[in-house]
Structure 1
């Protein structure tokens, strides 16, 4: 089967490495959104290698099963399975014996040299999203890390990344911590995902943030980072912060922090329900509510409000809405 869409969608190419003293080669996957490129790069040696899977997608009702041959039929099409086939339903693993005539399934399939259709993935209850997909699996053991660049403004790093493009539907990237084992006889990468704190690092300008898992959706342009989130910003007055989760948007190039936001800088502690960090403007907007306002406090007193402008360089704050404060007499 031909895959011309890979040229314009998910480009699988080789780029020269810039980090090593001597030239080496890096495997790269590329996605485009509104003129900006999201590029995933393996920065370390080709061990384990990047695995690229090209699959056709099928879906429908099982009309026949052959337990002896381990085949299943959807209408007039017969699909073979083997020891590499993954059987599962939402949230749990399954087996061939769990299949029943009349069940809805989603299949990832590759046509073999003899014309047979081999199913590598069988999801019980799944729906076919599009005609085909390409999936690239990246793993970089320490001291290397897989890198994602979001346009020219932000980068993310982690041990494991999965790039998946469903043709004519959407592109996705998942990055987290973990390890990988290459099984040469099966040409397969066995991933052990470990979404632990600080498994993923996001860099933008002077700001760095850490989380446990990053999920990028190309339709929305959002890179969602699961917490706990740790935030640091360099400068004359360094900043440290935290939140429960974070979103970086490729289009507007801003960070959004959600849940239990806390910023500490130059003796001032500010708390909020959410925040928008505009790194290019060197400011953040902190948001609260009447019941739980933004609160910014130092040794001289505190101010509160439902919306606060925060200067990332100095730590100074300006209450824009719902101002209230209390200060010590000089």
Structure 2
């Protein structure tokens, strides 16, 4: 099934119209230089809702909102097709907010705050758009007094300037109690995955001390409703446990991290002199405990000091038994 994405603009007055309709209602002049894009002053806290329909027929939503209300801290505008462009050329929405709330993007369980977001959507048949593309990072945007001479890009022709500036620790992600930081987010229609570039750092507070960690990227799969830490993932607990994996499926609400390795590079969890390795480890975040899920043909190895109880096992000095996948 072809994935479809509806893009709507919600005004503070309660009106909701497709973005492409708004763009067609106020096109650029057919002759002469393009008029500057009009600020959406009546749409303070303006928002876009992207509705994605997956192969399973389910609709999943990505919500984008500018939290500020002052022209001094940011802008919101939609730049539609310009003179000489095809009528079905994509529309480009610009969100900018340097205030504390930033531009808020909600994807699955994750609430993401950034200073700048650009949303591109191509108009499809019968008014339905493609999946679109979201690019978000640090940076700023502003309205220009006039169209810059000699500039042919879409935003310049709309008299808008947007300056993305990917910077570490400026893409702020909150999932439950977990807070993560990256430098750039890109969501694309080709696979429905929002990718956040690192370096990624995160922390999850608890009564016994925080769980901290790092990874190279974050992937949020909209269709699967799944958040994955990707690339050299390291989790550090205050209890001294250090866990490593190539990929970690992370679910703060379920208090569970699923550490995924490969036969060549299994996932590993070390606490003191105890070492546990397997292709898949289940890390119960609140309890700071790790158990093994053994896939068919998988290998489990363990090194435990005599007299110490192995993680996930009731008897000392023996590796943890294989466990079925945990139900959150």
Q: TM-score, normalised by structure 1?
A: 0.68
For the residues of structure 2 that align with 1:175 and 1:15, how far apart are their CA atoms?
A: 23
Which runs of structure 2 are paired with 1:83-232 in the superposition (5 Å)?
A: 110-111=82-83, 117=84, 131-150=88-107, 153-168=109-124, 169-186=130-147, 188-218=159-189, 220-232=191-203
Contact 2:75 2:141 in 1 (8 A): no
Counterpart in the other structure of 2:261: 288
Counterpart in the other structure of 2:8: 11
Deviation at 1:157, TM superposition (A): 0.8
Counterpart in the other structure of 2:69: 45
Pick the structure with more strand per residue: 1
How large is the Cα RMSD of the aligned pairs?
2.4
Cα offsets for 1:182-218 (capped at 9, x unmatched): 3233463322221111121122222222111111124
For the residues of structure 2 that align with 1:144 and 1:272, how far apart are their CA atoms?
A: 33
One of 51, 56, 59 as aligned partner of 1:32? 51
Q: Does 1:323 align with 2:300?
A: yes
Contact 1:15 1:28 in 2 (8 A): no
Counterpart in the other structure of 2:275: 302
Q: Paired residues, what number? A: 247
Contiguous gaps of at least 5 residues in structure 1: 1-7, 17-23, 56-109, 112-116, 120-127
Cα offsets for 1:31-72 (capped at 9, x unmatched): 1113332121111134232121011xxxxxxxxxxxxxxxxx
For the residues of structure 2 that align with 1:293 and 1:41, how far apart are their CA atoms?
A: 41
Counterpart in the other structure of 1:256: 228
Contiguous gaps of at least 5 residues in structure 2: 14-42, 54-58, 125-129, 148-157, 308-328
Q: TM-score, normalised by structure 2?
A: 0.69
For the residues of structure 2 that align with 1:199 and 1:189, how far apart are their CA atoms?
A: 23
